[in-house]
Amino acid sequence: MDNNITFKDIKKSNYSSIYHLIYQNERLSKQEIANQLHLSLPTVTQNLVRLEEKKLIEKSGQFESSVGRRAVAYAICPQARVSIGVEILKKTICILAIDLLGVPFKKTKLSIEYSNVDSYFEDVSHAVEDFISSLDVEKEQVLGIGFAVQALTSTDGQSITYGKILNCTGLDIQVFSQYLDYPCVFFHDAKCAATTELWIGNDIGDIVYLSIGTHLGGALIINNQIYMGKEGHSGTVEHMTVDPHGSPCYCGKKGCMETFCSISALLEENESLEFFFQELRSGTSSYVKRWDSFLDNLAFSINNIHLVINREFILGGHISPYLTEKDIEFLHKKVYDKTAFPNNEPFIHISRSPKNGVPIGAAIPFIQSFLNEI
């Protein structure tokens, strides 16, 4: 036994182990906890009392029993702590609250056009404060607020290092935190979507994640962790050059993957995704041709990335709810036609994350930190 381990460490370890075991299971009895963790019943009882006093767990009915007294079931209190995610877009913001299980329980969307001025930051902050006030929680239960932006951020999330879409390079989190008495952090929106994907399926391993929204975003996941790289821009495949003579990209270069594989590249002006896919599924020839061209460009780009990083791909973002397995089969065929190493094994998958994957992913890190500290 390590002589540096104290009785206090053991008590904390037991407390943590019991909470996490209950967290990982819907409901558990005292005896089941003792059996699985090889702890005495008095030790389990003492820790359950502490967890109940802190309102982290609660009694949740009883288990059925054919003999003797029915055992009390214990479950976590999902809203013992909550976290807030805010997705900032050019014309709207989406504010969302999740519980300790990462489940969203309240959301609002507001039309607030982005502007790099104090009044905008104040208006958004007040909207977030009003949203939190509408929740049935105490201030101490709110772990923090994650702001998802279409921009690269510093490793500590305190500033924006590259934000050409919103013209917000150099922005400091202080613009929001001066109005909000909670921990506040910036997150890159594509990394947020990838974070949600990881939360839902923690067995992902190594994946290239493409978030296909109004703008394209990417994330590289290695060993179930988002790999940021030395300067924080690993996975930003949206600025990989597809055609050096192509259309201008917002980054100032020409022919980036963004200009071929984003929703902005797919849709015409004032056209919605819903309308596009209605026409596509109805077989309207012009929409079928546009979709074929879009998938051709996407296949070209995926093949290039796949040659460098021979891993699975996940397609997420605003487009993912509209994708079908037939679309993915068609995309695979296009990739196989282009690659030097054709293989019939599928490696491209549709995202499993919910519709609001970006704001959920902006809120998840606070939940993860809290769980890690218990």
Q: What is the pLDDT of residue 1?
A: 42
Query: Residue 43 — pLDDT band, cuts 50, 70, 90?
Result: very high
Please report, for the chain, how many H helices and E strands are present, in that order: 12, 15
| Dist CA 214 CA 317 (whole Å) | 9
Q: Where in the chain is the domain with CATH 3.30.420.40?
A: 81-193+357-373, 202-350
Query: Residue 74 — pLDDT band, cuts 50, 70, 90?
Result: very high
Superfamily classification of domain 202-350 = ATPase, nucleotide binding domain (3.30.420.40)
| Dist CA 72 CA 97 (whole Å) | 30
Average pLDDT over residues 30-56: 95
Report, at the CATH architecture level, how domain 7-76 is classified.
Orthogonal Bundle (1.10)
Q: What is the pLDDT of residue 8?
A: 66
**Given a cut of 50, is residue 217 above it in pLDDT?**
yes
Length of the chain: 374
Q: What is the pLDDT of residue 234?
A: 86
Q: Which residues contact 264 (CB under 8 A, 6 or more apart)?
A: 214, 215
Residue that wins the pLDDT comparison between 149 and 344:
149
Average pLDDT over residues 36-60: 95
Query: Residue 343 — pLDDT band, cuts 50, 70, 90?
Result: confident
**Given a cut of 60, is residue 349 above it in pLDDT?**
yes
Q: Where in the chain is the domain with CATH 1.10.10.10?
A: 7-76
Record: fold of 81-193+357-373: Nucleotidyltransferase; domain 5 (3.30.420)
**Given a cut of 60, is residue 132 above it in pLDDT?**
yes
| Dist CA 314 CA 279 (whole Å) | 25
**Given a cut of 70, is residue 302 above it in pLDDT?**
yes
| Dist CA 163 CA 327 (whole Å) | 32
Average pLDDT over all residues of the chain: 93
Please indicate, yes or no, whether the overall pTM of this predicted structure exceeds 0.85: yes
